[in-house]
Amino acid sequence: MLELKIVKIDKPEDLNFILGQSHFIKTVEDLYEVLANISGAKFGLAFAEASGACKVRCEGNDAELKELACRNVLELACGHSFIIFLKGVYPLSVLNAIKNVSEVCNIYCATANPAEVIIAQSQNGRAILGVIDGLSPKGIETPEDIAWRKGLLRKLGYKL
């Protein structure tokens, strides 16, 4: 029997997070090392072990973000999944480094939007099927919208 569920990511409105899947217990240490080397980044991360003791493994340099990550991964309860909450840095600045961690298999999302995770549950456990990231589109951007987008990217320093 397979049951579908939706789990809402519990977080403050403007907080960015990255949700992914990996395959080995050393994921926690390797992700910590990547994030600890990013100047000014505050983070909390948690990883759900899928074999052996099946523990939620938590690390971080910010106690509140670490607790938030642990709570969300425990609520998701999907083996070999991880979540990282970030302050002081955008996911864009760390995403490629995270993808290059040898244990990382998949990134489901990197966002500050409200997010719901679609979960499948069987007798053996749970799996992430996908993520509803934010809201549905409301139309096609206008010339004013394009100008706003380009201005924002330059203000944030992503474009010259």
Q: pLDDT, tens digit, for every residue of 71-107? A: 999 999 998 999 999 999 989 899 999 999 999 999 9
Q: What CA–CA distance (Å, rounded) separates 33 from 128?
A: 25
Q: pLDDT, tens digit, for every residue of 24-45? A: 888 899 999 999 999 889 999 9
The helix/strand/coil state of 116 is strand
- DSSP class of 140: P
CATH at 58 = 3.40.1520.10
Q: What CA–CA distance (Å, rounded) separates 160 from 155?
A: 9
Place of tokens 């799996």: 127
Domain that holds residue 31: 3-155
Query: 78 burial class (0-12, 13-18, 19+ CB within 10 angstroms)?
Result: buried
0.75 exceeded by the pTM? yes
What does the chain come to in residues?
160
The number of domains in the chain is 1
Whether residue 131 is contained in a domain is answered as yes
The helix/strand/coil state of 153 is helix
Whether residue 111 is contained in a domain is answered as yes
Whether residue 113 is contained in a domain is answered as yes
Whether residue 160 is contained in a domain is answered as no
